[in-house]
Amino acid sequence: MEGEMEQIQQQQSGGMRSTVLFGKYEMGRLLGKGTFAKVYYGKHVRSGESVAIKVISKDQVNKEGLMEQIKREISVMRLVRHPNIVELKEVMATKGKIFFVMEYVRGGELFAKVAKGKLKEDLARKYFQQLISAVDFCHSRGVFHRDLKPENLLVDENGDLKISDFGLSALPEQLRNDGLLHTQCGTPAYVAPEVLRKKGYDGSKADIWSCGVILFVLLAGFLPFQDENLMKMYRKVFKAEYEFPPWFSSEAKRLISKLLVADPDRRITIPAIMRAPWFKKGFTRPIAFSIEEPSPEKAEEEDLKTEVQSKSSSPTFLNAFEFISSMSSGFDLSSLFESKKKAGSMFTSKSSASAIMAKLEQVAKGLSFKVVKMKEFKMRMQGAVEGRKGKLSVTAEVFEVAPEVAVVEFSKSAGDTLEYSKFCDEEVRPALKDIVWTWQGDNNGNDNASRSGSQIDRSIPEQSIPEQSDLVMLIRLVAS
């Protein structure tokens, strides 16, 4: 407890006692609480910026076996930076608690506005446009929210919508072999029929159904599917059985009729939603897309700057802590919020840095990727094919962690995140198997070793590479 109290200090100011977290954030009034967490108003000590601080009890989370859900929420919120999504600014931890420092949204829940009655159509349209823009952004990164409802939608001081609470969200790695999600979650009144059937579902299509229910609620002031008997309500959901109030416009009814379709394969898609006449009125796509997804040309400019600033004849040395943090697929607090760090893949190799670079160049050219050398042990691979968000651009860099061990890190410089993940899994991994010792997240060495059941090569002394258990121990003592 002594170490924990060092991070959570009490300060006396003007006759009032206040709690200062990690010497950075002053914690104020309680904003709300749930089963495992409390949310407080906070303020950055130096800048005065208002924040919301979510305090999570590790004991309660561990008792319920929800630590993986907390880790997933962090991973998801790291991926989805968008004007209409609540920003996770920082994660901190003590032995007993985890702290999420988040953007403070002053306007409160959208639910509070709807509880007073239906919204005017233009205002409902604005919120729905912002909701769909944010959901589309999430889906482009392989993130499915799975609990969209007015209680999880906030409104800021400018009247703009913000999606919050990604605790039930899903990532691509949760898909089973059939390519579907199978965990039933969400709030019954907003959940898609295929989720209730427990037979597997497409997370993006389930989110679209929830958006349809939300739009109905905004315009009507009440739910499309409601009954005191839960089973009767489910039957209405399964049949998509609802009635429009008389004040709905014909264009709004036409769009909702395409959103609330029981068969997910016949349900409208987000591109089609954005083409709908009702949706298009006054719609402007948020500028964050261009900020989050730099063009290949912009990436090339940054590469040239890097080349001028840093020329080295040997690979960068990665210290043990950085290596443990980077190679763990667990609770990586050290690099969660580096603004320029992209989603990446890493592997260790016993080949020399020069041999690795030569192999990378050979593989890139074999895949028809243009190679741009940024410095001796760093390169950018530029795709030729136009994808969902332009041409894919991937950076690869070699780091030395021991005299006989190197780490290779890939990161996306431009293009779509899902296309990048597919590129790494289906193209890069098979092509590099002869120089890979182990991939990040693989527990049994490289793919060949795990398929044949053979032991990991121990020709390099065990001390050369920090064991994963070192990180696990660190997490248990401090953050997990």
Q: Annotated catalytic sites, by residue?
A: 147
**Is 54 labelled a binding residue?**
yes
Find the DSSP H helices in 221-269: 230-239, 250-259
Q: DSSP assignment, residue 475?
A: I
Residue 257: which of 240, 269, 245 has the closest Cα? Answer: 240
Strands 25-33 and 16-21: antiparallel
Helix runs in 93-176, H state only: 110-114, 121-140
SS (HEC) of 453-474 = CCCCCCCCCHHHCCCHHHHHHH
Of 280, 304, 254, 233, the residue nearest 133 (C-alpha): 280
Amino acid identity of 375?
K
* Secondary structure letter of residue 229 according to DSSP: S
Q: Could you tell me where the DSSP H helices lie in 380-428?
A: 417-423
Backbone angles phi and psi of 235, in degrees to 5: -60, -40
Closest residue by Cα to residue 190 from 217, 166, 168, 165: 217
Q: Summarize the annotated binding site as residue ranges.
A: 54
Q: Summarize the annotated binding site for ATP as residue ranges.
A: 54
